[in-house]
Amino acid sequence: MSTTSASGAAATAAAGFDSVPVRRSPLARFTKRAARHPGFMAGAFILAVILVMSIGAPLFTTHDPYAQDISKRLIPPIWHAKGTWEHWLGTDKLGRDYFARLLYGGRISLMIGAATVLLSGAIGTALGVAAGFFGGRVDMVIGYIINVRLALPVVLVALAVAALVGTSLNTVIVVLGLLLWDRFAVVARSTTQQIAHADFVAAARAIGCSTRLIVFSEVLPNIINPLIVVATLEMAHAILLEAALSFLGLGVQPPLPSWGLMISEGKQYMFFSPWVITIPGVALVALVLGINLLGDGLRDVTAPDNRS
Amino acid sequence: MTVPVLELENVTKIYPVSQGMFKPRAMLTAVGGVSLSVARGEVHALVGESGSGKSTLAKMLLGLTKPTAGEIRIDGVPIAKTDRREVARRIQPVFQDPYSSLNPRKSVADLIALPLVAHRIGTSESRQKMVAAMLDAVGLPRRMIDAYPGQMSGGQRQRVAIARALVMKPDVLICDEPTSALDVSVQAQILNLLMDLKREFKLTYFFISHNLAVVEHLADRVAVMYLGRIVEERGREALFTHASHPYSRALLDCVLTPDPTLGMPDTVIAGSFPNPIAPPPGCAFHPRCPRATDRCHSVAPGPVPVADGVAACHYAN
Amino acid sequence: MPLLDVDNLTIQIPTEAGLLNAVNGVSFTLERGETLAIVGESGSGKSLTSLALMDLLPSRAVRKARSMRFDGIDLMAVGQRKMEDLRGDRMAMIFQEPMTSLNPAYTVGDQLIEALRRHRPVSRAVARERAVHLLERVGITAAASRLGQYPHQLSGGLRQRVMIAMGLMCEPDLIIADEPTTALDVTIQAQILMLLRDIQREFGMGLILVTHDLGVVARVATKVAVMYAGRLVETGPVEAVFGAPSHPYTQGLLRAIPVPGRTRPGEPLGTIPGQVPNLIGPLAGCAFRNRCEHATDACAAAIPERDLGPGHRMACVLDPVATAA
Ligand SMILES: Nc1ncnc2c1ncn2[C@@H]1O[C@H](COP(=O)(O)OP(=O)(O)OP(=O)(O)O)[C@@H](O)[C@H]1O
Ligand SMILES: Nc1ncnc2c1ncn2[C@@H]1O[C@H](COP(=O)(O)OP(=O)(O)OP(=O)(O)O)[C@@H](O)[C@H]1O
Ligand code: SF4
Ligand code: SF4
Ligand SMILES: [Mg+2]
Ligand SMILES: [Mg+2]
């Protein structure tokens, strides 16, 4: 009974009988599902535009974002009657080209977002995985730390630190990184708890894998998708917080062109030269919107398959 | 007499379970004083109702949890005194659910090579070769080496799980219901494969199952478990022809062979499985036992020798 | 007039990869007092067939049939309202997963009482009494005290029995049980099967039992329908199908299980090599031909239905004589 006759094999040459159904690789499946998700595509597009323009800033403008020219203060952008192509987004109160500042400022926002998320992601994931994986007392202690962190008001703590140790780009990153890890920890903890009880983790133990190997090769790959979603949300969060801190004068220091700082520096001129606020404001909204769309899209696209 | 591959002496596992916020923790005896010995090369089956402690026993054998009391020995050496990796090299699991026992993010090659990686055996090329050899042994086409579990059927996944268990050439395979998640036609393939591999690799099986027909087909000896205890331990013939313990007999009565002339069995044991936190006093089976007497209500029966084995019942003989 | 008469039922589900032909031209009848067992490989369309009778298919699925009659009522033509009246009253279903089919937010008692009061103008007290009576019948001790419990406080076996009691609340004419005992212990399985058989005899209901377990089929059913890849490959009285299995797939299934007394311990079991075909897109000819040892070129063409005896039919090109060997 365990042999298939030759005629049997011949008769199946038709279709539908591939013993291994041709299925797409995980990456191909991801791309296909992503391509059909309008939110994901819109977010990815916005983000790609901002990334390319700020990283490749020198390709898009010849102006130096730091070059002051008091004779050209507050030139309005091109859509105003008095606008010039020379400075098509206008200039600020010190006569610096606003488009150049916007592009270079994008670098700062992206840098702060990425660096903060790397730092907070590492802290939160480590704590969350440890809590979820080891459970018991470890979980209790880490749960306590998470609750303490949740009780701290982020903005107030950041303000206090900035006031105490002074402000700089690095301070902002470190402070935000040390504050924004809670969501990583919570998500990593709950997903790890599920994975830690899966048979394949028991199998890995029974095989003799070390705890380190189990965490890195069995647990982490299975919780990475939700963490990436959290990372996008936290990145948007960090970018907004940096803007708020800079607006309050406690974030990035002039003359660095951060978008929050641009808004802050523009606030005295906003009645007569509103673009000094609206342009970085719109850029900030676009960036945060793009990241959030991408994050939501990622969640849908990487969701497990329905029965198909 | 040769030393048994596996020996359990009075193995007990007690779980503290919380019963709510303000109540004290209760003690749940999942496995209570199990003694067994498994000879090299035999298939030792373990049957019993859901929750009777079969998987807990398997976990202790695999070193996944420590017994609360008692001792497990491999080739006469206590597990507690053996390096965990050494235990892992000798004893390997095959789990029930091939959907959750394989990491969905790993390819077949990585899954099967994991034990080699964990024990730092071989180079990546020699590992590839060993993986390919295991694929042949479990009857998977080599082209599946780069497939992911999500692309495979249940039977193929279970073959991968078996290949992973065998790649270290272990002595003992602990199979916890290895076919109960599979279709009948696939079950037959896996059972045949297990029998072939047993011969080829000279394996010993500790085989947990609900399916008594399957057990009768493969086992050399059978242990019947009820509420954490072994109530009967016999050679296959002896158990299936004249089981001594009333619970074993009840289980055997429930085996539905595919014979339409027979209809449903006339007697089935009533009641349901007792709460393991508060087991009945005396013989734990007495609330459901058709032969229970006053003595059974108060005195727990110890094992008594019966033909080719032991049974824990006052009236076993 | 049969209680249930299904003629040429087809179910298609649009999926990402294409149109899934999940059920393909299934026909059967069921009389009062009969038990029809549907067996087959996982994914062969057993659950979808039973869901189609209750009009409970996933919303994407498209159901077609030449005719589908329940006690003379045309199920393809009845409206939404009428179907809701039938469901739970004259036709009841016991689902594969008892965990998900009881509402976790209500007590067992509320759900049982509601099941009766939705269809009958009776008082809560009367409904409650019946609920207690049925819980006792399905072998639940201290039934009255269970009414106040929530589903999550019950074990799997208890939940499954509650599901059965709920199905019986209105004394339906037809019960469809989708793997009612798969998750249970053999001892509880036997209790529940006996109970279903007794109740069915007592009230003269029709019972459709979906299962993987050939032992259950042989002992409980009067008729069997063997499904493979969305098609019925063999149907007939249980004695005929088990006594003279004729379709190569049915034969393969019966050879694959160890049967004490018939198979010798340790001997290799019969297997069916290969895998079920992909049901996306059209599939002409016999769906089993990639695994069948008797396959010939004729199997790629339309497969005739053959009569093998009273009520015993199969879809295969072979002569019954040739395969009975
Ligand atoms: N980690 C745990 N904590 C508390 N109780 C547990 C734990 N693991 C198992 N138990 C309990 O121990 C008892 C035995 O469980 P076990 O899983 O060993 O049963 P089993 O015989 O394998 O059942 P099944 O046939 O359903 O797999 C059960 O009552 C179970 O609820
Ligand atoms: N909601 C759905 N969407 C897409 N495909 C589905 C859906 N439900 C079922 N299917 C597919 O339809 C086919 C038949 O499914 P069905 O659930 O009827 O199988 P079954 O015979 O009951 O299997 P099992 O024995 O595993 O319960 C399968 O290929 C299944 O994947
Ligand atoms: S000791 Fe008594 S109650 Fe226990 S199994 Fe034997 S007869 Fe039954
Ligand atoms: S029709 Fe052909 S392939 Fe199909 S079961 Fe019959 S002999 Fe086999
Ligand atoms: Mg178990
Ligand atoms: Mg089903």
**Is C317 inside any structural domain?**
yes
Model pTM score: 0.83
Instruction: Verify whether ligand 2 is closer than 6 Å to residue C24 (CB atom).
Output: no
Instruction: Verify whether ligand 3 is closer than 6 Å to residue B292 (CB atom).
Output: yes
Closest C-alpha to C232, from C80, C6, C75, C63: C6
A33 Cα to chain C: minimum distance (Å) = 10
Which pLDDT does position B21 carry in this prediction? 65
Q: Do C284 and A14 touch (CB under 8 A)?
A: yes
Instruction: Verify whether ligand 1 is closer than 6 Å to residue B32 (CB atom).
Output: no
Task: List the single residue in A2, A3, A8 with the smallest CB-CB distance to C289.
Answer: A8
CATH number of the domain residue A152 falls in: 1.10.3720.10
Split at pLDDT 50, 70, 90, the class of C98 is low
Q: Which atom of ligand 3 is nearest to the CA of B295?
A: 2
pLDDT digits (tens, 9 = 90+) for A35-82: 888 888 999 999 898 888 888 877 877 777 777 777 777 777 777 777
Mean pLDDT calculated for residue range C53-80: 90
ipTM: 0.85
Which pLDDT does position B232 carry in this prediction? 95
As a whole number of angstroms, the distance between CA C171 and CA B43 comes to 48
Q: How high does pLDDT run on average in chain B?
A: 88
**Is A16 inside any structural domain?**
no
Radius of gyration of chain A (CA): 26
- Distances from the Cα of B66 to the Cαs of A252, B77, B313, C267, in angstroms? 55, 16, 29, 37
**Is A18 inside any structural domain?**
no
B15 near C CB under 8 A: no
Domain that includes residue A231, residue range: 37-61+89-295
Q: Do B105 and A221 touch (CB under 8 A)?
A: yes
Closest C-alpha to B134, from B100, B169, B105: B169
B254 near C CB under 8 A: yes
- Chain C's closest residue to B275, CA to CA, is C155
As a whole number of angstroms, the distance between CA C156 and CA B272 comes to 12
Task: List the single residue in C17, C268, C292 with the smallest CB-CB distance to A8.
Answer: C292
Task: List the single residue in A3, A12, A21 with the smallest CB-CB distance to C290.
Answer: A12
Q: How high does pLDDT run on average in chain C?
A: 87
Which pLDDT does position B173 carry in this prediction? 94
Closest C-alpha to C5, from C72, C60, C98, C54: C72
- Chain A's closest residue to C21, CA to CA, is A16
- Chain C's closest residue to A36, CA to CA, is C16
Q: Alpha-carbon torsion A56, A57, A58, A61, what sign?
A: positive
**Is A229 inside any structural domain?**
yes
**Is A5 inside any structural domain?**
no
Percent helix, strand, coil in chain A, to 5, is 70, 0, 30
Sort out which chain A residues have CB atoms less than 8 A from C19's CB and list them.
none
Sort out which chain B residues have CB atoms less than 8 A from C185's CB and list them.
49-50, 210, 273
Q: Which ligand is nearest to the CA of C288?
A: 4
Place of tokens 């008892």: C98
Chains touching A, CB cut-off 8 Å, 3+ pairs: B, C
Which pLDDT does position A305 carry in this prediction? 53
Q: Do C273 and A8 touch (CB under 8 A)?
A: no
Per-residue confidence of chain B (317 residues) as pLDDT tens digits?
Answer: 578 899 999 999 999 887 666 777 788 899 999 999 999 999 999 999 888 899 999 999 998 889 999 999 998 899 888 888 888 889 999 988 888 889 988 889 999 999 999 888 888 889 999 999 989 888 888 888 888 888 787 888 889 999 999 998 899 999 998 888 788 888 898 899 999 999 988 899 999 998 899 999 999 999 999 999 999 999 999 999 999 999 999 888 888 888 888 877 776 777 667 778 888 889 999 988 988 899 999 999 989 999 899 999 999 88
Element containing residue C157 per DSSP (H, E) = helix C156-168
Ligand 1 centroid – CA B56 distance (Å): 6
Q: What is the count of structural domains for chain C?
A: 1
Which pLDDT does position C318 carry in this prediction? 87
Least confident of C19-23, C126-130, C157-161: C157-161
Which pLDDT does position A26 carry in this prediction? 67
Is pLDDT at C66 greater than 80 in this prediction?
yes
Task: List the single residue in B50, B213, B272 with the smallest CB-CB distance to C258.
Answer: B213
Instruction: Verify whether ligand 3 is closer than 6 Å to residue B43 (CB atom).
Output: no
Domain residue spans of chain B: 233-317
Q: pLDDT > 90: what percent of chain B?
A: 45
Q: pLDDT > 90: what percent of chain C?
A: 39
pLDDT digits (tens, 9 = 90+) for B66-103: 999 999 999 889 988 888 888 888 999 998 888 888 99
Phi, psi of A187 (to 5 degrees): -70, -45
Which pLDDT does position C65 carry in this prediction? 92
Is pLDDT at C99 greater than 70 in this prediction?
no
Residue nearest to atom 22 of ligand 1 (CA): B55
Radius of gyration of chain C (CA): 21
- Chain A's closest residue to B95, CA to CA, is A199
Ligand 3 centroid – CA C304 distance (Å): 58
Q: Do C15 and A308 touch (CB under 8 A)?
A: yes
**Is C112 inside any structural domain?**
no
Q: Do A20 and B147 touch (CB under 8 A)?
A: yes
Q: What is the count of structural domains for chain A?
A: 1
Domain that includes residue C282, residue range: 4-90+172-323
The residue ranges of DSSP E strands in chain B, in sequence order, are: 6-17, 26-38, 43-48, 69-74, 77-78, 91-94, 172-176, 204-208, 221-226, 229-235, 304-306, 309-311
Task: List the single residue in A200, A213, A218 with the smallest CB-CB distance to B100.
Answer: A200
C226 near B CB under 8 A: no
A136 Cα to chain C: minimum distance (Å) = 24
Total CB pairs under 8 A between chain A and C: 67
Choose from A293-307, C94-108, C289-303 the range with maximum mean pLDDT: C289-303
Low-confidence ranges of chain A (pLDDT < 70): 1-26, 304-308
Residue nearest to atom 7 of ligand 1 (CA): B15
H helix runs in B176-298, sequence order? 184-201, 212-218, 236-242, 246-253, 294-298
CATH number of the domain residue C60 falls in: 3.40.50.300
Q: Which atom of ligand 1 is nearest to the CA of B210?
A: 25
B304 near C CB under 8 A: no
